Amino acid sequence: MRKNIFIVFIGLISLSACKKDFLEQTDPNAITVDQFFTSPNDVLLAVNGVYQSLRSSNNIGESSNLYTEQRSDNTGTNDNQSNAGEPFQFGDFSILPSNTYLKNHWVSLYSTITRCNVITSNIDKVPFADANLKAQYLAETKFVRALIYFHLVRKWGDVPLVTKQLTSNNEVVENTFRQPQSVVYAQIVADLKDALNSNLPNLATGASAGRASKAAINGLLGQVYLTMATTLESGKAENLTNANTYLLAAYNLKNFNSLAAIPYADVFDVTKKTNNPEVIFEIVNLQGNITYASSIAANNQAFGETLNSRRAPTGVGGNVTPDLVLDYESGDPRKDFSIKYAADTRVLDWFITKYRDASEAATVNGYGGNNFPLMRFADIILMLAEVNMLQGNDAVAIQYLDMVRARAGVPLYAVVRNNATYSAKYPTLKLAILHERRVELAFENHRWFDLLRNFTTAELVTYFRAKSQANFGNAKLSNFSTKDRYFPIPFDEYKLDPAKMYQNPGY
């Protein structure tokens, strides 16, 4: 009971925002934060609650693709009902500030941050016999807080920045204002550097799978610096240098010799997930468990298909745009593993097969054991290619690019760039790397952020408008404009203070 009360308690933006009634009655069974944080185990429960919050489809869990993949050119909704309802607004680039899915995403992300802030604000009150244990819990908390702020700043731009527990209405009001992106990024970097200066393991394996590690912190720091270099107005050269440093640090913590030694299918094989050497940070699911199982395999399965799950299909599955289908090179085995054409007359379209669990242990209810990767070494390797390309080190960039292509079994860059079809589609090394990230990391919620890094807002509009509408489904490419660089501030947040919570342009 105590644990359940606490989880609900820390999900609030203000922990004491309600006015007392005239009798000033007190619930004798209520547990305050001061009362909860009395032992290291209490802190562990709170940190576990932080990780647990990531699982939600409203947060960054396996079913949060609405805010990333469907926002990009990878997936959409192309069935007869796809032009109805609020979810369609994301891929159609017609999203409204009143969209309830958008608000739920915002609230969930800030709820995770609130959980983190409660820990950082109260951990010093707890007596720790082991100082390293305290440092570990604090590092894990700051890593997740940085990760969530990284999602917020890339999706909305300027956002409120809160790093302490808010305990009154006045404090909530005082902190309800958007801070410049540069300030948010500075906090993200500070949190990650603090987390790196800890005793966390190099890699999270075994019972620690799904928790922060030094490889994950270095990888995230590298991605943050790379994003700063490509999206902020100043500090490009320094940020690229830092990006290279931290991404290389993450890469050097790998426990395998060659990426080619890890078959692509093995990375997503539920029977091999406990000893998967490529994963750096992931959301762990429990096969057969009604509460903590994965549903991504079953949810992506189309009518007439049985490849993903034993659960009977109820729809068209995870829709794949023809634009992505056509981006796979001829003979790329990642295509046959990741997507499939459903010939059922109710579908007649491509659906996602990258996540599969049709085992008996998953049952006919589809309680899969798929872990959801948030960061893996192929991602780090391709970001190293991107950084070196931006620094003018094309030869090094190609070496990293070829690590991923060699594992996939497709021709190396020196060969394929002489192919007329390939060179016409990807005439520059930048576009070749972007293409490789797309087919390697499809449906892992990276594509939208990759586009934001590689194109200015004006370039992004040109990029989307140049695509074939016939290859994009029901969503209207003509809707895409400069406003779509960011999500709108949810209306309920904007109206709290229209001046301090100013709306993004175009909404």
List pLDDT tens digits, range 177-186. 999 999 999 9
Q: Which stretches of 304-428 are DSSP H helices?
A: 322-325, 333-338, 377-390, 394-408, 413-416, 420-425
Both 115 and 17 in one domain: the answer is yes
Q: Which of 359, 391, 415 is the last residue of a domain?
A: 415
Query: In angstroms, what CA-CA distances link 180 with 20, 154, 501?
Result: 36, 12, 12
Both 239 and 313 in one domain: the answer is no
pLDDT score for 11: 36
Query: Considering the chain, what is the average pLDDT of its residues?
Result: 92
Q: How many C-beta neighbours within 10 Å does residue 118 have?
A: 26
The region of weakest confidence among 16-20, 259-263, 347-351 is 16-20
Query: Is the pLDDT reported for residue 323 higher than 80?
Result: yes
pLDDT score for 18: 34
Both 195 and 206 in one domain: the answer is no
Angle at 442 between CA 363 and CA 50, to 5 degrees: 65
Both 252 and 380 in one domain: the answer is yes
Distance of alpha carbon 459 from alpha carbon 461, whole angstroms: 5
pLDDT score for 79: 56
Both 216 and 358 in one domain: the answer is no
pLDDT score for 84: 63
| b/e map 79-115, b = 16+ CB within 10 Å | beebeeeeebbbbbbebebebebbbebbbbbbbbbbb
**Among residues of the chain, what percentage have pLDDT more than 70?**
92
Pick from 3, 41, 31, 35: nearest CA to 134: 41
Residue range 38-64: mean pLDDT, rounded: 97
Query: Is the pLDDT reported for residue 10 higher than 50?
Result: no
Residue range 300-308: mean pLDDT, rounded: 97
Q: Is 410 helix (H, G, I), strand (E, B) or coil?
A: coil
pLDDT score for 141: 98
Which tens digit of pLDDT belongs to each residue from 144-200?
Answer: 999 999 999 999 999 999 999 999 999 999 999 999 999 999 999 999 999 999 999
CATH of the domain at 231: 1.25.40.10
Q: Which of 368, 392, 425 is the last residue of a domain?
A: 368
Residue 122, in any domain of the structure: yes
Query: Is the pLDDT reported for residue 25 higher than 60?
Result: no
Both 13 and 63 in one domain: the answer is yes
State the residue for tokens 């699982």. 55
| b/e map 462-484, b = 16+ CB within 10 Å | eebeeeeeeebbbbebeebeebb
* Residue 376, beta-bridge partner list: 279
Which tens digit of pLDDT belongs to each residue from 193-237?
Answer: 999 999 999 999 999 999 999 999 999 999 999 999 999 999 999
pLDDT score for 29: 52
Residue 428, in any domain of the structure: no
pLDDT band at 16 (very low <50, low <70, confident <90, very high): very low
Residue 469, in any domain of the structure: no
Both 195 and 205 in one domain: the answer is no
The region of weakest confidence among 35-39, 84-88, 241-245 is 84-88
pLDDT score for 26: 44
Q: Are 427 and 417 in contact (CB under 8 A)?
A: no
pLDDT score for 165: 96
Query: Is the pLDDT reported for residue 19 higher than 80?
Result: no
pLDDT score for 85: 85
Both 180 and 272 in one domain: the answer is no
pLDDT score for 271: 96
Residue range 439-464: mean pLDDT, rounded: 98
Both 47 and 92 in one domain: the answer is yes
pLDDT score for 302: 96
Which tens digit of pLDDT belongs to each residue from 254-276?
Answer: 999 999 999 999 999 999 999 99
Both 139 and 249 in one domain: the answer is no
Query: Is the pLDDT reported for residue 1 higher than 70?
Result: no
Q: How many C-beta neighbours within 10 Å does residue 29 have?
A: 8
- Domains of the chain: total: 3
Residue 273, in any domain of the structure: yes
Both 21 and 123 in one domain: the answer is yes
Query: Is the pLDDT reported for residue 30 higher than 60?
Result: no
pLDDT band at 78 (very low <50, low <70, confident <90, very high): low
Residue 60, in any domain of the structure: yes
Sign of CA dihedral 291, 296, 300, 306: negative
Residue 89, in any domain of the structure: yes
pLDDT score for 5: 29
CA dihedral 18, 22, 27, 28 (to 10 degrees): 140
Which tens digit of pLDDT belongs to each residue from 423-445?
Answer: 999 999 999 999 999 999 999 99
Residue 290, in any domain of the structure: no
Residue 425, in any domain of the structure: no
Both 157 and 17 in one domain: the answer is yes
Residue range 233-262: mean pLDDT, rounded: 97
* Domain containing residue 309: 296-368
Query: Is the pLDDT reported for residue 326 higher than 70?
Result: yes
CATH of the domain at 106: 1.25.40.890
